[in-house]
Every structure is written in structure tokens, then in C-alpha cells.
Amino acid sequence: MKKSYIAIGIIIILILAILFAPKFLSKGDKKVKYKVLESSEIPEKIKEILPKYLTDERALTCRLNDEIYVLVTRGEKQTGGYTVNVDKIIMEQKTKDDFDLTVYAKFKDPDPNDIVAQGFSYPFAIVKTNLNRMPESIKLEVEYEE
């Protein structure tokens, strides 16, 4: 009888460990909700500042009114056919008030046999997030698609 209580206790402890371990291992990381903006949805103020950042490969945040936007740029490309897509955004809580963002983006290059527009292109993506304050820093993690 005593052994069955010990076995049940161990099972309960294992179940609790399985349920709560991910919270402790994730260090407060959580996904940020966002909406990818079409060209027509991009605010005019962002359209005005965007050209300053198009020549670099980077991710940056921008506050406009009470909304936080994330811009991901690929830099200057010699032809068309290059794309950038935001896969996910992860927020890592550093302190109670400070957090960092990691933007995971997928870059796709044109196939060598594709017919693409000749001339410089500047691929980018802009997303509107559900954040209410700016991050301390932002990091871009890139995965290249085939």
C-alpha cells in the first residue's frame, strides 16, 4: 500500500515537471503577434524614412503614434526576384521593463534560370506588431529558402 502511494507521488511529480519545465526553460521568451503590411497599408511616415535603410540587410523597429512596426530589409540587389518574409518574432524579457526582439526571416533568391527584372531592387517586409513599447535591441536571424 505504501509503495503505491510513493508511485502515485512520483507520477504526479513527473507530470508537474513536464507541464512546468517549458516555462522555466524558455526564459520568458514569447512569440510576438504581427500583421504583414501590404504596400497600400504602409503609413506615409514609414514610407518617407524607409529609403534610408533599404541598402542594408537588417531588422529595425519604428514607433509611429502608439504602434510598433518592424522593418526587415535585404539590402541592394543587382536584379529583381529576391524576397524577404518574416517567419516569426520572439520577445526575450531581460528585466521587468526591458526586452529584446529576435526577428526570424526567410530570404529567397531568384533561381539562376528565372527571368527577372534587370535593375537594382531593394527587398523588404514591414509588419505591424502588438507591442506597446520599443525593445532594447533587435536581432535578425536569416534562413535562406531554396
Q: What is the pLDDT of residues 86-108, one digit of tens each?
A: 999 999 998 888 999 999 999 99
Q: Is there a contact between 126 and 89 (Cβ–Cβ < 8 Å)? A: no
Give the Cα separation of 26 and 114 in Å (integer): 42
Does residue 9 fall inside a structural domain?
no
Does residue 78 fall inside a structural domain?
yes
Does residue 15 fall inside a structural domain?
no
Does residue 113 fall inside a structural domain?
yes
Does residue 5 fall inside a structural domain?
no
Give the Cα separation of 11 and 15 in Å (integer): 6
Q: Is there a contact between 87 and 107 (Cβ–Cβ < 8 Å)? A: no
pTM, two decimals, is: 0.78
Give the Cα separation of 135 and 95 in Å (integer): 11
The total number of structural domains in the chain stands at 1
Give the Cα separation of 58 and 79 in Å (integer): 19
Task: Answer with the residue of higher pLDDT: 24 or 70.
Answer: 70
**For residue 33, what pLDDT is reported?**
96
Determine the structural domain holding residue 40 and report its residue range: 28-145
pLDDT interval class at 21 (50, 70, 90)? low
**For residue 16, what pLDDT is reported?**
74
